[in-house]
Structure 1
Amino acid sequence: MNISFSPPFIDQNVIDEVVDTLESRWITSGPKVKALEAEMMELTGSKASVCVNSWTSGAIMMLKWFGIKAGDEVIIPAYSYCATALCVLHCGAKPVMVDISDDLTIDPAEIRKAINHQTKAIITVDIAGLPCDYQAINTLLKQPEIQEQFIPASEKQRALGRILLLADAAHSIGARYGGKSAALASDITIYSFHAVKNITTAEGGCICLNLPEQFNHEAEYGFLKVFALNGQNKDAYAKSRGANWKYDILYQGLKINMPDICAAIGLAQIRQYKDLLLPSRKHIALKYCHHFNAYSWFTAPALKDNSRESSYHIFPLRIKGISEEQRDQIIDQLVGLGIVVNVHFIPMPMLSYFKETGYRMEDYPNSYKQYACEISLPIYPQLSIEEVDYIIESVISTVQLHLGISPLKTTA
């Protein structure tokens, strides 16, 4: 077999929606983007949503919106993709990395240790689609001794009156927390629509706002739409409607708007998400767990507990008692069997740029421990029953063989 890791879901509905955009002769930001933003509000329960051209640019914009600048600190997990740190650096601030819990999400106890007078925001990361421990984090941010350390330096910071909680939900669209959309557990949630995500627009992202009542979400939406278009007060669609060519530049904005041709892909997918795409992922994840649970070398991922349910974006297979080198050998063997797998993620302190700027992997022992034994297996709706069975059989036989155990013998 030849099994890809994470191909985009492209069915006739997607093709039809894209063709409709092409035939409309309007391909940049316009009605399709508006429709996708409305669908995102419906899916997440958010008070406002703004589509942009990537998670990264959306995060940069929201940190700038909050007034993050040089001298400020933003707490992030060491176990994440580089964009979680780069968006902070692009604002001139310092990413303060902390370690993770065994479920791969940021450790609230480590957040507590890292907070000081320079801390302006926390970026949590819903790794593999599992929401972080938002109850513990929100409780922490409301503690008087934590709020007393917060020194506001911008209009938005004074309005919020505390450290901003921004969720990196690149993996977790459709995840649940406390019986509700996980997007409601933080001030700002930013999703990725990159090609490998549960919902894709080829490249893209969406900012969802759930700010306290002192914020006017309609006004914030209007500001962000202008800021995302170079600070220009009329987009191309508005300018095209008759004699409407005059515009003004109101802010030193960014150019990060999403075009309709991209939104069309996501629009067709999101309409099938609850009933088809997400249940398909869940079914595969549960089937993996059902079979792997028979083996003592398997560490089951946290998919659902009393307060959280994953979006099943990634299936992080973790194998007990192996080294990073052994993990890499198992990956090579699986690829040789025609199964493309991945690793999520290489902790940022292991990457050259971050090593050169002073981050040390030994300061984040659990991040390294989890990384060294993790293999991300294919999990997407297009996988056939035969392909899933082949992946399961191949993983079991390869790991058993590598560990020197009979392929037919369980060790549970």
Structure 2
Amino acid sequence: MNIPFSPPFIDQSVIDQVLDTLQNKWITSGPKVKALELEILKLTGSKAAVCVNSWTSGAIMMLKWFGIKEGDEVIVPAYTYCATALSILHCGATPVMVDILDDLTIDPLKIKQAITSKTKAIIAVDIAGLPCHYEAINSIIKDPDINQLFNPETDKQNLLGRILLISDAAHSIGATYRNLPAAVKSDITIFSFHAVKNITTAEGGCICLNLPEVFDNTEEYNFLKMFSLNGQTKDAFAKSMGANWRYDIIFKGLKINMPDICAAIGLAQIRLYNDHLLPLRKKIAMKYCHKLKMFNWFIHPILKDKTRESSYHLFPLRIKNITEADRDQIIDFLVSRGINVNVHFIPMPMLSYFKSIGYKIEDYPNSYKQYACEISLPIYPQLTDEEVNYIVENVIDGVNIKANKSKLLEVVS
């Protein structure tokens, strides 16, 4: 058996949407992008949604929008993909890394301890699809003592009057917080539509705005659409409508717009998401938990608690009492059996570039601890019961072989 890690969901509705785009002969930003933005608004309950060509470019744009620059600090978890911190570095600012909780999300207490007069924003990361503890984080950034440290230097910063909260929701489209879309718990939520995500546009992302009432979210949407197209007053679709060729460049923008040919894939998928694709992901996650819960080496991932429910983007299997080397050997065994797995994530301080600029994994002990015992198992709508059973059987065999039939594999009575 050969089981891929995360193939995209491509059914006839996806093919039909892409063919419709090709047949209409409009493939760059146009009506499909707008339709996808409207579907995202319905799914997330957000006030505005701007589709872009990647999570990373969307994050860079929003940091620049807020005026993040050299000398500023942005707090991030050490346990995330490199793009979270690279977006800050591309603005000339400093990522301030903090450790995580056992549920893999950023530790609010560590956030509070890291805030200085240079802190302009926090990027909280919803690892595996589980929302961060947004009520705790919002309480921190709205604390009067913390607000006294905030040093606004731009119009946007003065208008907000506090630290900006950005959700790195690359994994968490469809996740909920107190039965509401988790996206509404941050000022700005940025999704990824990369090929392995719950909803994909091959490459792409979306910025959702839920700014406080002192902002006009519609006005900010219009500004960001121009910002994502070189600061140009008209996009190509608008310019194509008759004698409408004249445009202007009114500020130094970026070129990060999403094309219709990509939006078509996501448009078909998002219309199936709540009723079909997301429930299938949840069903697979529940199967994994049911089949593995009898083993005392299994660390049950938090998929749902009193306030939060995951989008089931990843199934982060963690195994008690193993080393990083043990974990790697179990992965090798699974791969030898035709099961493609992954690890989410190598903490940023372990990566060469971040080590070269001074970050040390020793400063983030829980990030390393969680990474060293984590294996991301396949979880996607096309996965069959037979494949799930095969994966579970081989996970058990892999742990058993590594443990050499030790007490690690004792069944919980």
**If the length of structure 1 is used for normalisation, what is the TM-score?**
0.99
Task: Report what 1:73 is aligned to.
Answer: 73
Partner of 2:38: 38
Partner of 2:62: 62
Q: Which residue in 2 is equivalent to 1:324? A: 324
Deviation at 1:408, TM superposition (A): 8.9
1:410 aligned residue: 411
Question: Aligned equivalents of 1:17 and 1:399: distance in 2?
Answer: 44
Taking the TM superposition and a 5 Å limit, the aligned residue runs for 1:331-410 are 331-405=331-405, 410=411
Give the paired residue count.
412
Question: Which amino acid in 2 is paired with 1:53?
Answer: N
State the partner residue of 1:249: 249
Question: Within 2, Cα distance between the matches of 1:402 and 1:227?
Answer: 53
Separation in 2, partners of 1:408, 1:117? 50
1:91-240 equivalence runs, <5 A: 91-240=91-240
| SS across alignment from 1:74 | strand
- Tell me, in whole angstroms, the C-alpha distance in 2 between the residues paired with 1:153 and 1:409: 59
Do the aligned residues in 1 keep the contact of 2:75 with 2:111 (CA within 8 Å)?
Answer: yes
Following superposition of structure 1 onto structure 2, how do residues 306-321 of structure 1 map, counting pairs within 5 Å?
A: 306-321=306-321
Displacement after TM superposition at 1:405 (Å): 2.1
1:28 corresponding residue in structure 2:
28
SS where residue 124 of structure 2 aligns? strand
Change (3 A) 1:120 1:408: closer
Distance (whole Å) between structure 2 residues aligned to residue 188 and residue 251 of structure 1? 22
Secondary structure, counterpart of 1:49 in structure 2: strand
Bigger shift: residues 349-358 or 386-395: 386-395
Q: Match for 1:142: what amino acid?
A: K
Percent sequence identity over aligned pairs: 72
1:263-313 per-position Cα deviation (integer Å, ceiling 9, x unaligned): 000000000000110000000001101111100000011100000000000
Mapped partners of 1:152, 1:330: distance in 2: 50
CA contact (8 A) 2:74 2:121 kept: yes
User: Deviation digits for residues 58-86 of structure 1, max 9, x if unmatched?
Assistant: 00000000000000000000000000000
Q: CA RMSD in A?
A: 1.0
Aligned equivalents of 1:79 and 1:321: distance in 2? 20
> After superposition, where does 1:282-301 map in structure 2 within 5 Å?
282-301=282-301
Corresponding letter in the other structure for 1:319:
I
| Structure 2: runs of 5 or more not aligned | none
Structure 1 segments of 4+ aligned residues over 3 angstroms from their partners = 406-409
Please report how far the alpha carbon of residue 402 of structure 1 lies from its aligned counterpart in structure 2 after TM superposition: 1.3
Matched-pair contact (CA < 8 Å) for 2:296–2:410: no
Q: Deviations over 1:93-126 (max 9, x none)?
A: 0000000000000000000110000000000000
Q: CA deviation at 1:396?
A: 1.1
Q: SS at 1:156's partner residue? A: helix
What is the CA deviation profile of residues 362-408 of structure 1, one whole-angstrom value per residue up to 9, with x for unaligned ones? 00000000000000000000001111111111111211221122899
Task: Measure the CA separation in 2 of the matches of 1:404 and 1:280.
Answer: 35
Letter in 1 for 2:77: P
Deviation at 1:409, TM superposition (A): 5.6
Aligned residue for 2:172, secondary structure, equals: coil
Q: Distance in 1 between matches of 2:31 and 2:343?
A: 37
Structure 2 counterpart of 1:410, one-letter code: V
2: distance between equivalents of 1:44 and 1:248?
A: 33
Q: Which amino acid aligns with 2:237?
A: Y
SS class of match (1:271): helix
The separation in 1 between residues aligned to 2:409 and 2:96, in whole angstroms, is: 46
SS of residue paired to 1:148: helix
3-state secondary structure, aligned to 1:287: helix
